[in-house]
Amino acid sequence: IRESATLTRDVLEQHFNDLKGTLKKLLDERLMSLLQEVDTIEQESIKPLDECQKLIEHGVSTADDLLREGESAVHGDVGQQNEKLCSFTKKALHIQLDSLPEVPSLVDVPCLSAQLDDCLLTILKNQIFRHGTVASRPPVQLEEFVEKPGGILVRWCKVDDDFVPQDYRLQYRKGTASHFEDVYVGSETEFIVLHIDPNVDYQFRVCARGDGRQEWSPWSVPQIGRTTLVPHEWTTGLEGYSLSSRRNIALRNDSQSCGVLYSKAPTYFCGQTLTFRQVIETVGQPDRRDSLGVCVEQQNGYDSLQRDKAVCISTNGAVFVNGKEMTNQLPAVTSGSTVTFDMEVVQLGPSSNEGGNFKLRVTISSNNREVVFDWVLDQCCVSLYFGCSFSYPGWKVLVF
């Protein structure tokens, strides 16, 4: 409680300090804008009046000069009087002393003033007093962590009955890292976080956004999750496939070499879910020999998993058990498709009816459809290899 209260105080103080700085900056910018507007109106309005004043002053100055010249002509010597009077008369005829520029009336002259609406303070006051809330409990909380090979399935739930969520936002950070990072934003209440190092603590937190709102809710209480399961990896060295840096993505390349790409080790255990996902927008040309599935052991020399001691699905949706095609068929594997395998042990010991002493209940799901069947083996096997084979380039599959 004390830790969250201290953190909340820090967040509130930082937020309102930021608001103060931003508001001051906005008010200063508005003040400068209004002052510039005053300067512009003053300059544009005063210019014609200044020009009018200059014309009037020039006319008065010219009249004064002419008046002085006339007085000089009248009071001058008799010999020069006629000459000066003649010059005065000529100047007087050329100067229009009765012409003045038009002076605007007072009602047409701008008179600047500032209109400042006091209701802004009332609006700001109402908005400020409604800004921000303190919640004693976030509306969503983390509920469960499920270990996955090289990943963690994170589940969360809504704990506030009055809260109507629109989206959720999941973040995590590794160990004692300083910053959380987004790993999922969407409407689902669970997500598999991949690229998780085994036996390392990760902190998770989740928040939500209410229906029709823009802001996110407070974060849930951070919780620690970890996985002890090593990540699934494809084996390296097969010429027909290129692998990602983490070796969990395989791409069928342009090589003419064919064969089955197996997992590095038998890392799939009964009771887990094995997932294959097509991770590119386009896929390669399908072929009946294509296959995604699991097997008891690696067997080189085959170009497909459609063989004994293996179960698989072809890209056209056909399901094969020990090399035999089932009558039930799943949708074809296309761009973005996800195929999952789930297995559980249903029988141990001898079974004379079916000729085997080990039986697995297998569920294969693809595009919201699934087939369920029993896979009979002649040996106990709880960890299996997975594999894939594609005849044509362009297929790219992620396994987790």
- The whole-model pTM stands at 0.63
Tell whether 268 and 390 lie within a shared domain: yes
Which pLDDT value is given to residue 193? Answer: 95
**Chain segment 32-58, per-residue pLDDT in tens:** 999 999 999 888 888 878 887 888 888
Q: What percent of the chain has pLDDT over 70?
A: 93
Strands of the sheet with 151-158, listed across from one edge: 140-148, 151-158, 190-193
Does any domain span residue 306? yes
- The mean pLDDT of 326-353, rounded to a whole number, is 83
Does any domain span residue 222? yes
Q: How confident is the model at residue 352 (pLDDT cuts 50, 70, 90)?
A: very low
Which pLDDT value is given to residue 214? Answer: 85
Tell whether 380 and 279 lie within a shared domain: yes
242, 259, 340, 347, 390 from 303: Cα distances, Å: 17, 4, 22, 31, 8
Which pLDDT value is given to residue 274? Answer: 93
User: Phi, psi (5° rounding) for residue 290?
Assistant: -60, 150
Comparing 237 with 86, the larger pLDDT belongs to 237
**Two tokens at 362?**
């297998």
Total number of domains in the chain:
3
**Two tokens at 175?**
């160990």
CA distance 290 to 312: 9
Which range, of 18-27, 130-139, 259-268, averages the lowest pLDDT?
130-139
CA distance 386 to 274: 9
Counting Cβ atoms within 10 Å, is residue 195 exposed (0-12), middle (13-18) or buried (19+)? exposed
The residue ranges of DSSP E strands in 163-263, in sequence order, are 165-174, 181-186, 190-193, 202-210, 223-225, 241-243, 249-252, 261-262
CA distance 61 to 7: 79
CATH of the domain at 216: 2.60.40.10
CA distance 296 to 390: 20
Candidates 116, 114, 168; CA nearest to 139 is 168
Q: How confident is the model at residue 348 (pLDDT cuts 50, 70, 90)?
A: low
Is the distance from CB of 398 to CB of 277 less than 8 angstroms?
A: yes
**Chain segment 113-153, per-residue pLDDT in tens:** 888 888 888 888 888 888 877 777 889 999 999 999 999 99
Q: How confident is the model at residue 100 (pLDDT cuts 50, 70, 90)?
A: low
Which pLDDT value is given to residue 113? Answer: 87
Does any domain span residue 105? no
Q: What percent of the chain has pLDDT over 90?
A: 55
Tell whether 19 and 42 lie within a shared domain: yes
Instruction: State whether the Cα torsion 178-183-185-190 is positive or negative.
Output: negative
> H or E element: which one contains 10?
helix 2-75
Q: Which of 187, 202, 227 is the last residue of a domain?
A: 227
Q: How confident is the model at residue 325 (pLDDT cuts 50, 70, 90)?
A: very high
Which pLDDT value is given to residue 313? Answer: 96
Tell whether 252 and 379 lie within a shared domain: yes
CA distance 136 to 158: 15
Q: Which residues of 153-172 are buried (b: 16+ CB within 10 A; e: fewer)?
A: bbebebebeeeebebbbbbb
Which range, of 67-76, 113-122, 327-336, averages the lowest pLDDT?
67-76
- Residue range(s) defining the domain that contains residue 27: 1-48
- The mean pLDDT of 335-362, rounded to a whole number, is 78
130, 276, 278, 365 from 330: Cα distances, Å: 55, 15, 16, 8
Mean pLDDT, the chain, integer? 87
Tell whether 246 and 384 lie within a shared domain: yes
Tell whether 338 and 382 lie within a shared domain: yes
Does any domain span residue 103? no
Does any domain span residue 362? yes
Asked if the model's pLDDT at residue 351 lies above 80, the reply is no
CA distance 161 to 140: 10
Cα torsion at 260, 261, 267, 271 (round to 10°)?
Answer: -50
262 has which bridge partners? 387
User: Phi, psi (5° rounding) for residue 32?
Assistant: -60, -40
CATH of the domain at 336: 2.60.120.920
- The mean pLDDT of 371-387, rounded to a whole number, is 91
Does any domain span residue 60? no
**Two tokens at 296?**
């008891």
Tell whether 373 and 254 lie within a shared domain: yes
Give me the residue label for tokens 């809504």: 158
